[in-house]
Amino acid sequence: MAKRRLHLLKRPKNTHTVNQIPGTMTYVGHKAGNETKLDVIDYNKEAYERFSSKSTEDAFKFMDEDRITWFNIDGLNNISEIEKLGKHYELHPLVLEDIVNTGQRPKIEEYQDYLFIVAKMLYFEQRGDSHEIVQEHISFIVGSNYLLSFQESDGDVFNPVRERIETAKGRIRSRSADYLMFALLDAIIDNYFIVIDDMSDRIEALEESLFTAQPNDDITIEIQDLKKNILRIRRAVFPLREVISRLEKLESELIEEKTKNYLRDLYDHIIQISENIDIYREMIWGLMDMYMTTISNKMNEVMKVLTIMASIFIPLTFIAGIYGMNFEYIPELQWHYSYFVLWGVMIFVFLMMLYYFKRKKWL
């Protein structure tokens, strides 16, 4: 079972930086070692350009007014580069703080010229034999013709979207930045489905092992582990419902009317995931109760074996003990057939006991 063990990366100790001046950027995530990478995709219906860079200034040169520009920043520990982007797009200091603050919960904020969206990615990562659920902080800045996305590491969650832009599949190249935002949120939510499905598999596997395995603390640990995971996934997913619901109802020039149908679709998906999470939650809670009954059942079985063995042999041993006494005068002892009669009595007692336990259905 160890191989299927599922982890959420440990919460970093100080997800919140205490006593710092509000608006100060401090990255507190667990991927502090990653280098910050900048990936820019510049496109419209006809044109498509993509390049990577480590410097923000490089990127600005290539930007074009009548194209959609998607800046994707991988790695949040290079504060200065993010600050340059912030200055260029005139982002509020609190927005910059939240971009790198991995403790921030999903939310949406509407500013004059842009929308600020925070979400959580959940995806699998291979660690040795097992795969782990990784939770990653992601933020979007959606402007009129640009979209900035800030990730903790360069995962491959957005690759299908990149491919669709490159190969001009679907509507994406002919729509504006809000549709790109939708496509990226859709990719994030698609990954929720994968994680949730895996959760469901694990619940079923655990359920089966409840009945086959001997009682042991590993199962308790496993169930508690699942509980924590579902609670954390819930916390990552549930606030996003509100975010998407508000996006759908937003009256802003940044969101085209025809994109709203797609956002409504997205909302359906996130509700579907939420419902599943709540069902799995109830199932996991139920697992503990189930486990208690299986332990009790096994205890019952153990006790029955003991009771049957003891109830049969203790009386017989007593009988044998009687005739092991050294009294001078025990009449039965002299009789020649006593021993055989006694065996008869003992077998009779034994059979009566068997019959009694049979009738009680303990055998």
CB 211 within 8 A of CB 294: yes
Segment 83-102, which members bind its own copies (CB under 8 A)? 92, 94, 97-98
Torsion of CA 346, 351, 355, 360, to 10 degrees: 50
Among 87, 127, 228, 358, binds its own copies (CB under 8 A): 228
Question: What minimum distance in Å lies between the beta carbon of 86 and its own copies?
Answer: 15
Q: Please tell me whether residue 260 binds its own copies under the rule CB under 8 A.
A: no
- Over the window 301 to 320, marking each residue x when it contacts its own copies by CB under 8 A and - when it does not, the resulting string is -xxxxxx-xxx-xxxxxx-x
Question: What minimum distance in Å lies between the beta carbon of 143 and its own copies?
Answer: 19
φ/ψ (deg, to 5) at 66 = -90, 20
Among 145, 153, 269, 349, binds its own copies (CB under 8 A): 269
Q: Which stretch binds its own copies (CB under 8 A): 44-52, 63-71, 144-152, 213-221?
A: 213-221
Question: What minimum distance in Å lies between the beta carbon of 127 and its own copies?
Answer: 20
Q: Please tell me whether residue 328 binds its own copies under the rule CB under 8 A.
A: yes
Q: Which residues 6+ apart lie within 8 Å of 131 measured at CB?
A: 6, 124, 125
Q: Please tell me whether residue 8 binds its own copies under the rule CB under 8 A.
A: no
Provide Rg for the chain, Cα atoms.
34
Segment 19-78, which members bind its own copies (CB under 8 A)? 19, 21-24
Q: Please tell me whether residue 214 binds its own copies under the rule CB under 8 A.
A: yes
Question: What are the Cα distances from residue 300, in Å, to 278, 288, 358, 361?
Answer: 33, 18, 16, 13
Q: Which residues 6+ apart lie within 8 Å of 4 measured at CB?
A: 130, 202, 205
Tally of CA atoms within 13 A in the half-sphere of 200 that contains its CB? 12
Picking from 134, 127, 180, 132, the residue whose alpha carbon sits closest to that of residue 158 is 180
Q: Please tell me whether residue 293 binds its own copies under the rule CB under 8 A.
A: yes
Dump the DSSP string for 173-184.
GGS-HHHHHHHH
Report the distance separating Cα 282 and Cα 291, nearest Å: 14
Q: Please tell me whether residue 1 binds its own copies under the rule CB under 8 A.
A: no
Identify which of residues 49 and 301 has a Cβ nearer to its own copies in the complex.
301
Q: Please tell me whether residue 355 binds its own copies under the rule CB under 8 A.
A: no
Among 1, 333, 345, 354, binds its own copies (CB under 8 A): 333
Q: Please tell me whether residue 295 binds its own copies under the rule CB under 8 A.
A: yes
Q: Which stretch binds its own copies (CB under 8 A): 29-37, 56-64, 82-90, 321-329?
A: 321-329
Question: What minimum distance in Å lies between the beta carbon of 158 and its own copies?
Answer: 10
Torsion of CA 215, 219, 224, 226, to 10 degrees: -150
How many helices, marked H, and strands, marked E, lie in the chain?
9, 7
CB 31 within 8 A of CB 152: yes
Q: Please tell me whether residue 155 binds its own copies under the rule CB under 8 A.
A: no
Q: Please tell me whether residue 326 binds its own copies under the rule CB under 8 A.
A: yes
Identify which of residues 246 and 269 has a Cβ nearer to its own copies in the complex.
269
Size of the site for its own copies (CB under 8 A): 115
Among 66, 251, 335, 359, binds its own copies (CB under 8 A): 335
Among 197, 344, 354, 355, binds its own copies (CB under 8 A): 197
